[in-house]
Amino acid sequence: MIYLYLGQNDLCLPVTAASLQLGLLMSTSLPAYEDLAKLPHFRTVGKEDEGMLCFMGEDRQGNKVYVTSVKGHPDVFIRGVGSLLSVCQIPLQEVVVVPCIAENPQVSRLCRIITLLGFKESATRLGSRVARNRFRELAATTYAK
């Protein structure tokens, strides 16, 4: 099975959720900024890598876990993936799309602007704060899946 964590404007939330599934983060303790920052692909995204799948790894059950991020309209992407699976005659349950959108997408946009201004470290720090704020919810979602 394929798990696809979908973020908006950044990969911070999807990478955190994917890491919980892969066991790179423990759901029992809130991760430190350093722990989040060293996760693979934990960053904002540019226009050129919107929609690009990043492979995070395989979980214990052998499910492949990917993350991706889009600028906006996550509903269109979710419908698109479902529709493609039908068209390609792939069972719908083969791909699970998990939206990991910040409550306020403007924060993710701000992260992106900060990155564009060259303050990558500050953007990552802000992204990690968003991830920490949503950590319990992400953990609950991930384990429910």
User: Which residue ranges make up the site for another protein (CB under 8 A)?
Assistant: 2, 4, 50-53, 64, 66, 68, 70-73, 75-88, 90, 94-95
State the nearest-atom distance from the C-beta of 1 to another protein, in Å.
11
Task: Name residues whose C-beta falls within 8 Å of residue 9's C-beta, 6 or more positions apart in sequence.
Answer: 44, 45, 69, 70, 71, 105, 108, 109, 111, 112
State the nearest-atom distance from the C-beta of 94 to another protein, in Å.
8
Angle between helices 120-133 and 12-22 (to 10 degrees): 60
State the nearest-atom distance from the C-beta of 62 to another protein, in Å.
14
CB 130 within 8 A of CB 11: no
Q: Which is nearer to another protein, 68 or 142 (CB)?
A: 68
Q: Which is nearer to another protein, 68 or 128 (CB)?
A: 68
Q: Which is nearer to another protein, 87 or 144 (CB)?
A: 87
Where on the phi/psi map is residue 51: left (φ > 0), alpha (ψ -120 to 50), or beta? left
